[in-house]
């Protein structure tokens, strides 16, 4: 990926993270990246292509974290714990991409999020074969998704201490299940 393309994606993600969706335009991304609107369009073609690239980049980052974290844990439930840890990597990790590009995609064209839908299917299949009750793996995955999207879409603020407690509770459920 070219340096300019990466720069555009970084500024597009920062824009959405800072201001939400209301100011997400090619013109505003271009202004922040200090390039022309034509420059953004040269690299992405359309606003939808930029949004798709933002989603794909976030999914690639998540996938890399998900695999690395799971491989460091050989107990049953490792993949389910990795899903939770990868969704909330902690304060020392690089910031995780916002789910806002998914929301932009949904607002504009549901097919834009097809790569997310495809990945989610693979992740859920992996978690279903994780050595713990598949129902528990699904519950933990859905709870992690709910907390992540709640936070990303700024739906209902979960106090920081409660958020950390919920994350640890999800992890603990998988540890208890693997020790039975």
Q: What is the pLDDT of residues 76-102, one digit of tens each?
A: 999 999 999 998 876 655 555 567 666
Tell me if 177 sits within 8 A of 77, measured CB to CB: yes
pLDDT-derived band at 105 (thresholds 50, 70, 90) equals low
Place domain 1-45 in its CATH homologous superfamily. Homeodomain-like (1.10.10.60)
Over residues 140-167, mean pLDDT? 86
What residue spans define the domains of the chain? 1-45, 55-178
61: CB partners within 8 A, 6+ apart: 96, 97
- How far apart (Å, rounded) are the C-alpha atoms in residues 97 and 62? 9
Classify domain 55-178 by CATH architecture: Orthogonal Bundle (1.10)
> Looking at the predicted structure, is the pLDDT value of residue 34 above 80?
yes
- 1-45 and 55-178: identical CATH topology: no
């Amino acid at each position: 990926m070219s340096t300019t393309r990466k720069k555009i994606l970084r500024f597009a993600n920062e824009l959405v993270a800072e201001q939400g969706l209301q100011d997400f335009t090619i013109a505003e991304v271009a202004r922040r990246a200090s390039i022309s609107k034509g420059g953004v369009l040269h690299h992405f073609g359309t606003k939808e292509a930029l949004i798709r690239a933002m989603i794909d980049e976030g999914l690639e980052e998540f996938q890399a974290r998900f695999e690395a974290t799971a491989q460091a844990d050989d107990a049953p439930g490792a993949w389910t714990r990795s899903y939770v840890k990868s969704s909330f990597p902690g304060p020392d990790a690089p910031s995780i991409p916002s789910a806002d590009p998914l929301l932009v995609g949904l607002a504009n064209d549901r097919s834009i999020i097809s790569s997310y839908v495809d990945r989610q299917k693979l992740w859920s299949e992996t978690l279903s074969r994780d050595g713990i009750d598949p129902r528990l793996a699904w519950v933990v995955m859905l709870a992690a998704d709910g907390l992540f999207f709640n936070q990303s879409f700024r739906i209902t603020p979960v106090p920081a201490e409660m958020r950390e407690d919920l994350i640890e509770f999800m992890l603990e459920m998988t540890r208890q299940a693997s020790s039975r």
